Amino acid sequence: MGGGRSIQLARVLGVRIGVDPSWFIVLFLVIWSLSGSFKNVYPGHDTKAFFLATLAALLFFASVVLHELGHAVVAMRNGIGIVGIDLWLFGGVAKMSGDTKTPGQEFRVAAAGPAVTALVAIASLAAAHLIGGNQYLPGVRLHATHYVSPAVAILSFLAFINVALLVLNLVPGFPLDGGRIARSIVWWRTGDRDRATRFAAALGRAFGYLLIGFGLYLLLGPVHDTVGGIWSMAIGFMLSQSARAAVLQSQIVERVAGLRVADVMDAEPVVLPAQTKLDRALDEFFLRYRWPWFPVVDATGRFLGLVSRQKVEDVPEALRPGSSVDQVMTIENVGRFRIGVDEPLEALLGSEGLTRLGALMAVDREGVLRGVVTLDQVRRALRAPPVSLP
């Protein structure tokens, strides 16, 4: 779910938080919808309603991030790496570097998000009642019959929307959290992860079709809710397609089970020493090999960063003999472009760094560059016949 390039917003607990460009569409729609709701609570105060709608929308997405952080933290505690968290058109997703290994891991990781959402809903409801007593509004969707403070109005919305988020996520259909919980139970009972995935995915497709049917009813039935109908159908279609993709991904993971990064990487990559002068780098590396970038290493072979031909050519020709590669190499966020040589091959699947660069640097525990694994090498490994390993 989600995908493509995202814009990094922050890092929380070491986890990259980003937004897909599609998220801005949803942010606009949520603010627009909430503005109308808050106008019902504060009639004649359009500016105030818009400000509160914007604040409420941002807090809602913050609660989505907390939900995904729940998954991420528990995954990391169970030894599963996290590529990052992305907000996108249909919510948020915590991208794991690998799949869970046991039913217990699957259950704990899947249940962590809903548990955080439940806590946010309870805390919001308790705070609303503590501040405003009987001022609580269910979802800020009703006309206020008495004055309601802005804090209570926002907290009421957060309680309502997190309860709705909790209910949706607990639907037992893959890839929703409820579907992952269902998968963990079937996996535990049968001992077959692939069978459990197919079962949970079937539930996910069924729920997706129900949402599509409900959306058609809203569009064509007596309700005539165009926005709600289109949105319901879009979510239903997304769920059904994601369920199908989950089955395919499970089959791919089974196919590469036992393979490590070291098994497919190029163990003799061409590298650029950090102290190489730029004129020599251009003549002996970029013009010779015609590659757009090279990994940069220090004297001990440790991976330091990446240098592109564009970076070298941006330096005036007269200055190149006196400038070295380490002065123009890219080191910001370079961690996303490396992976441990002993990591399972499945850790590469869905890697944002692999998608962006077309390759990842394989390093050992000391950070020494041991090889480069490219997107083509991963594709060949996925196409190859299953390998029986001892």
Percentages helix, strand, coil for the chain (3-state, rounded to 5) are: 60, 15, 25
Q: Give Cα separations from 339 to 19, 83, 291, 345, 372 (angstroms).
A: 23, 11, 21, 10, 9
Report the pLDDT value the prediction gives residue 294, as an integer from 0 to 100.
93
- Mean of the pLDDT values across residues 228-248? 80
Buried b (16+ CB within 10 A) or exposed e, 14-31: ebbbbbbeebeebbeebb
pLDDT band at 243 (very low <50, low <70, confident <90, very high): confident
Are the C-beta atoms of 180 and 106 separated by less than 8 Å?
yes
Report the pLDDT value the prediction gives residue 138, as an integer from 0 to 100.
54
> Above 60 in pLDDT, residue 29?
yes
Give the distance between the most distant pair of CA atoms in the chain. Answer: 77
Q: Give Cα separations from 69 to 7, 103, 110 (angstroms).
A: 17, 20, 12
> Above 50 in pLDDT, residue 49?
yes
Backbone φ and ψ of 39, nearest 5°? -65, -30
State the burial class of residue 209 (Cβ atoms within 10 Å of its Cβ: 0-12, 13-18, 19+). Answer: middle
Per-residue model confidence as pLDDT tens digits over 88-125: 876 788 888 777 889 999 999 999 999 999 999 999 98
Q: What is the dihedral of CA 379, 381, 385, 388, to 10 degrees?
A: -160
State CA 245 to chain mean position distance: 15
> pTM of the prediction?
0.69
CATH 3.20.190.10 at 261-383, yes or no: no
Integer Cα distance of 49 and 36 in angstroms: 8
Mean pLDDT of the chain: 83
- At 313, the amino acid letter reads E
Report the pLDDT value the prediction gives residue 181, as an integer from 0 to 100.
94
Please tell me which residue, 120 or 204, carries the higher pLDDT value. Answer: 120
Give the gyration radius of the chain's Cα atoms.
25
Which residues touch 105 (CB under 8 Å, ≥6 apart)? 78, 80
Integer Cα distance of 248 and 235 in angstroms: 20
pLDDT band at 133 (very low <50, low <70, confident <90, very high): low
**Pairing relation of β-strands 272-273 and 293-297?**
parallel
State the burial class of residue 161 (Cβ atoms within 10 Å of its Cβ: 0-12, 13-18, 19+). Answer: buried
Residue 379 structure tokens: 């594709």
Per-residue model confidence as pLDDT tens digits over 288-314: 998 999 999 999 999 999 999 999 999
Report the pLDDT value the prediction gives residue 390, as an integer from 0 to 100.
37
- Mean of the pLDDT values across residues 194-218? 88
Residue 158 structure tokens: 């957060």
pLDDT band at 146 (very low <50, low <70, confident <90, very high): low
Percent of the chain at pLDDT > 90 equals 33
Residue 148 structure tokens: 């309601």
> Other C-beta atoms within 10 Å of 387: how many?
12
Residue spans in the chain of domains classed CATH 3.10.580.10:
261-383
